[in-house]
Amino acid sequence: MGFKDRLNDAAKALLGFSTYADKTVKTGFDLGADIVTKVREALGGQLQPLAHTPAEWFIADLARALHNADNGQMMTVGQLSRAMRRDGQINGLLQTRTSGLVSLPKRYRGNEEMIAALKAESSTRSIFDEMNPPTELALLAADEIVGGIGIAERLPVEGRDYPVLCRLDPEFLTYRWNENRWYYQSVAGTLPVTPGDGRWVLHTKARLAPWQGALWPALGRAFINKEHAILNRANFSEKLANPARLAYAPAGATEDEREGFLARLLGWGTNTAFALPVGYDAKLLESNGRGWEVFQASIDQSDLEIMIGLAGQVVTVTGGTGFANADIHQTIRADLIKQTADSLAHTINTQILPHWVWSTYGEEALNECPRVEWDTDPPIDRKTSADALTATATAIERLNQVLTIAGIQVDVDELVAKFGIPIKPGVKPKPLPENDNGSKPDPTPDSDGGSDGQ
C-alpha cells in the first residue's frame, strides 16, 4: 500500500467514513493528475470555472434552487448565496460571525513540539495562519452557514513545505446519491472530491444532505423580498418626487393668455417666483406620501428575518436595550459562535493538520497530532471562571485548616470534578509536615536540648 493510499485510509478513519462508501467506483481524474495540472497551467493555475451571478432573483428561483439541491446540484444555491452577499445586512452579520470568529484566540492540544512549530512565525504570521489564511477560513465557514457546504483546495507553494488553503466556490459542487460522493466541476472536467487526502477540504454542516439544514432558504426569501421592496420604493419615490403643477385661469381669460401662463409654469425651476394677475392661481398636486410604507414594512420584516437567522437575536444588532460596544460576543448568540467554531475546528483537525503531521513528522506521529480550537468564551465568562477558581482554591485552603484539626481533609478530587477544574495528571502533591495538626510547628531544638532563642 502506497503513501497516498495509507493517507486516504487514515483520513477516512478520522472523518468516520461509512464502510459502504468504499464499494463505489469514482469517475473522473484525481486533482493531482497530469492532465489536470496541464489544463490548469494553461489557464494560469485556476481550478474553478468562471462564476456567473444572476442580477435578478424571484421567489420562484427558491423552488428551483431547492429542487436542484435535492438532486445534488449546488449551482443555484451557490449563485444565490453569492448574490446575497451584496445585501449589507447579510454581508455585515455574516462577516461578524465568521471573520470575527477566526480572529478569536486559538487553543492547541497535543504534542508540544508540533504545537510550537504551528505557532512559529515564518514571516508576518504563524505557520498555522500561513497554512490556513484566516480570510479563507472565514469564507469556508460562511459557505457552511449559508449553503450547508464549503469546498477548498490545498495549493502547493514553491519554497514552502506545506500547502496553502484556497477556498473554492461551492456553486460547482455536485453530489451523486448513487455513489455517496461529491464531485467538483472544474476547468479540467469533473473531479472526485476525497476529503482529507491532502488536497481536498470539504466543510459540511451534516453528513447527509447538508444543504437542507442551512440558512439559504430563509435568507434567500428575505433577500428577494427586500430587493423587490427597495426597487419598488425607489420607483414610487421617483414618480412622486416631482408633483404635478396645476394652473388656474379665470373664466374670461383668452387662449393666448392661458398658453402664456402655462409656458411660464412649465419653466418652473429652482426658486421660481410668480406675479399672478387677478383670477389666476398655481398649485401643486402631491400624493399623500403614505404609499411607501408598504415597501418599508417589507424591508423591515426582511431585515428582522436576516438578523434572527444569522445572529440568533435582535437586541444587540439593532442597538436596543442591552446594547454595548459591538464585538462578536455581543452581536452573535454565543451558542451559534461555538457551533461554527467547533465545526470549523473539526474540519481542520481531521482534514488539514493530520496531513501536515504525516508529511512533516511521519506516519507514527499521527497519534500525537495537535488539535486546534477557538476560545469562544465571552470575556466576562472568563473573568467569572477565574473568580470561581480563586474562590474554590481559597475555600479548599481554609477548609483544610479547620478540618485538619479533626484529622480529616477535603476531598480535592471531588471538588475538582464538581467544579470542572482543569488539572494535569502526574503531578505529585507536596507532602504535609508530619507534625502538621493545623497549628504552628514546634520550635526547632538546639544542641543543648533547649530551643532556639533561649
Q: Are 299 and 222 in contact (CB under 8 A)?
A: no
Higher per-residue pLDDT: 201 or 429 = 201
> Is the pTM here over 0.85, yes or no?
no
CA dist., res. 154 & res. 277, Å (int):
82
Question: Picking from 162-166, 298-302, 377-381, which range would have the lowest pLDDT averaged per residue?
Answer: 377-381
Which pLDDT score, from 0 to 100, does residue 312 have? 85
DSSP code string of 149-168: EEEEEEE--TT-SS-EEEEE
| Mean model confidence pLDDT for the chain | 81
Residue environment code for 294-323, b if the CB has 16+ CB neighbours within 10 A, otherwise e: ebeebbeebbebbbebbbbeeebbeeeeee
If pLDDT is split at 50, 70 and 90, which confidence band does 420 have? low
CA dist., res. 242 & res. 131, Å (int):
58
For the chain, the distance separating the N- and C-terminal CA atoms, rounded to the nearest angstrom, is 82
Section 272-288 average pLDDT: 71
Section 318-324 average pLDDT: 45
All cell numbers assigned to 128: 498555522
Which pLDDT score, from 0 to 100, does residue 214 have? 94
What percentage of the chain has pLDDT greater than the value 70?
74
Which pLDDT score, from 0 to 100, does residue 398 have? 80
Position 447 pLDDT exceeds 90: no
pLDDT tens per residue across span 214-226: 999 999 999 999 9
Kindly report the CA angle at 202 between 200 and 205, in degrees rounded to 5? 175
CA dist., res. 389 & res. 421, Å (int):
7
Higher per-residue pLDDT: 390 or 343 = 343
Position 257 pLDDT exceeds 90: no
CA 145 to chain centre: 7
What percentage of the chain has pLDDT greater than the value 90?
41
Which pLDDT score, from 0 to 100, does residue 325 have? 39
Position 450 pLDDT exceeds 50: no
pLDDT tens per residue across span 430-441: 555 554 444 444
Which pLDDT score, from 0 to 100, does residue 347 have? 95
pLDDT tens per residue across span 159-216: 888 899 999 999 999 999 888 899 999 999 999 999 988 899 999 998 889 999 999 9
All cell numbers assigned to 237: 419615490
Which pLDDT score, from 0 to 100, does residue 322 have? 38
